[in-house]
Amino acid sequence: MVRISNIKVRSDFSDEELFNFIYKKYNIKMDEVSTRRIVKKSIDARNKSDIFYNYSVEIECKNEDKIKGAEPVENDEIFSIDVKRKSSVSPVIVGAGPAGLFAALILARNGIKPIVIEQGKSVDERQKDVEEFLSTGKLNTLSNVQFGEGGAGTFSDGKLTSGIHNPLCKVVLKEFYNFGAPEQILYINKPHIGTDNLINIIRNMRNKIIEMGGTFLFNEKVIDFEVSNGKVTSVICSSGKKVETDSVVLAIGHSARDTFEKLYEKGLTMERKNFSVGVRIEHKQNMINDSQYGTETKLNLPPAEYKLAYHGDKRSCYTFCMCPGGQVIASSSEENTIVTNGMSKFARDGENANSAVLVNVTPDDFEGDSPLAGIYFQKDLEEKAFKLGGSNYYAPVQRYEDFKANRKSEYIGEIKPSYKPGVTLSNLNEIMPEFVSKTLVEGIDYFGKRIKGFDNPDSILTGMETRSSSPVQITRDDNKESNIRGFYPCGEGAGYAGGIMSAAVDGIKCAIAILEKE
């Protein structure tokens, strides 16, 4: 098999048309091809008057050595696990987000039957709770955008990009595809699943884990742990259920604040870490498309994305979790708080684009010395946003022109906010630290020079975005264990991931650590 790279295509081809184009371009006889696949597809929009797709493909055929520019394909290494685990008790996984689900999947595939404990509901029941909150403002604190099967990433854009460049990323993508994700996630440059696909995929993963001997306990909140001689011995649930175990994967997510408190009380070593806070900004998706693609191309391009960063004298500002054609979604998990996030369906066909615009926060900004001080910093902003929005789960919003002028917005312009259950015209400067407001203005103005219209006076800011990453890291050693043996801090909540892909990879790593421990 050989790989042909940098194939420039200036038409919207079907897969069949693409390979016919390649056969003709490289003088390959169709009847001599035994295997073919697309391995990469990206968009090159650097020249707005000549936008094209850039493909890489792999082909197995006769006379491969005669294909100009083709290179031999190296076989992908399939990771192997030396299973040494002999324990008679099941590992417990606390949390059914991507880290927890992939940890459970790898354990089950290797003959170990995990018990997954999730305080929220199964993904289908959880979806009903989310929809009720968006329509009525009635919040279920155990089943919402943050908590429940699938984790916080379920109600997002479903991005599968990551900066970690780990070979396990391919494993994650293949598993998502096996459980129902579109095939294009295996080769497209910036893959995403969309919340509508994620719900089905998560259900399929759970059913497979159960088929292999795993157990799921939904609506079971872990409230305590028993520790003896520096080792975990059991997990205790709010129902009174006690599960004996010697291995606990802490895939608790970045919003499980009471669990962080309990773990700190139990003596797990943890420390404060940097994170970011800010707002969601909304623009017309058509404006983003025109800025990124221009108006000349005839290609049927997907809704455009962006990723921007600004570095000031003392603070940085950057965009995060950009959702083309999406909506700003209510993501509160505690009463009397407002938390925002972004979400897109797979089609990304909504009128607005949105992304977080965030400013870095460091432990020097927190009050007190507690490792949990970052949590209290977040919660203070969320409670202030709740009050500013009217104390009814309406989010405070503001036109950018008014935010920059430090005045309350009195009307909505051409860009309509997508947040539900509702919004309240406000002055977000009233609840933000001055350094956040100042850096947001500097950043948005700078981004307006990179993307025409980003600093549009009618751009809508929705507050507050506080949960971009965990404010805590639970320390662990090279074997992925904490200072108390048997605890495996895992994923985004424990401070070792930043999104669906990296969380899933970390779940696999923790599962391997459990399997290979004698």
3-state secondary structure 23-86: HHHCCCCHHHEEEEEEEEEEEECCCCCCCEEEEEEEEEECCHHHCCCCEECCCCCCCCCCCCCC
Domain assignment present for 77: no
Domain assignment present for 78: no
Look up tokens 């854009």; give the residue. Answer: 157
- Say if residue 152 is in the same domain as residue 51: no
Domain assignment present for 169: yes
Angle at which helices 195-211 and 123-136 cross, to 10°: 150
- Say if residue 64 is in the same domain as residue 168: no
- Say if residue 393 is in the same domain as residue 304: yes
Give the CATH number for residue 45. Answer: 3.30.70.2700
What confidence score (pLDDT) does residue 263 get? 98
- Say if residue 285 is in the same domain as residue 243: no
**Whose CA is closest to 506, among 157, 253, 321?**
253
Domain assignment present for 155: yes
Number of domains within the chain = 3
Contact 235/248 with Cβ under 8 angstroms?
yes
Instruction: Give, in order, the Cα–Cα distances in Å from 83 to each of 319, 324, 410, 512.
Output: 42, 43, 63, 8
Contact 150/158 with Cβ under 8 angstroms?
no
**Whose CA is closest to 459, among 403, 420, 388, 419?**
403
Contact 231/127 with Cβ under 8 angstroms?
no
Q: How many Cα atoms occupy the beta-carbon half-sphere of 227 within 13 Å?
A: 18
- Say if residue 278 is in the same domain as residue 233: no
Domain-ending residue, one of 428, 444, 465? 465
d(CA 356, CA 466): 10
Domain assignment present for 140: yes
**Residues 273-332: pLDDT tens digits?**
999 999 999 999 999 999 999 999 999 999 999 999 999 999 999 999 999 999 999 999
Amino acid at 53: Y
- Say if residue 120 is in the same domain as residue 169: yes
- Cβ neighbours of residue 203 closer than 8 Å, sequence gap 6 or more: 122, 123, 124
First to last CA, the chain: 40
What confidence score (pLDDT) does residue 163 get? 85
Contact 479/517 with Cβ under 8 angstroms?
yes
- Say if residue 253 is in the same domain as residue 303: no
- Say if residue 291 is in the same domain as residue 432: yes
Amino acid at 426: S
What confidence score (pLDDT) does residue 420 get? 97
Q: How many Cα atoms occupy the beta-carbon half-sphere of 105 within 13 Å?
A: 27
Q: What is the pTM of this model?
A: 0.96
Domain-ending residue, one of 72, 107, 122? 72
Q: Residue 88, class by beta-carbon neighbours within 10 Å (0-12 exposed, 13-18 middle, 19+ buried)?
A: exposed
Task: Give me the domain span that covers residue 117.
Answer: 92-271+470-516
- Cβ neighbours of residue 391 closer than 8 Å, sequence gap 6 or more: 336
Residues of the chain with pLDDT under 50: none
- Say if residue 413 is in the same domain as residue 346: yes
- Say if residue 204 is in the same domain as residue 353: no
What confidence score (pLDDT) does residue 254 get? 96
Domain-ending residue, one of 72, 107, 132? 72
Domain assignment present for 172: yes
Look up tokens 């950057």; give the residue. Answer: 318
Domain assignment present for 84: no
What confidence score (pLDDT) does residue 76 get? 72
Domain assignment present for 82: no
What confidence score (pLDDT) does residue 306 get? 97
- Say if residue 450 is in the same domain as residue 498: no
Contact 282/462 with Cβ under 8 angstroms?
yes
**Residues 429-486: pLDDT tens digits?**
999 999 999 999 999 999 999 999 999 999 999 999 999 999 999 999 999 999 999 9
Is residue 203 classed as helix, strand or coil in its secondary structure? helix
- Say if residue 48 is in the same domain as residue 99: no
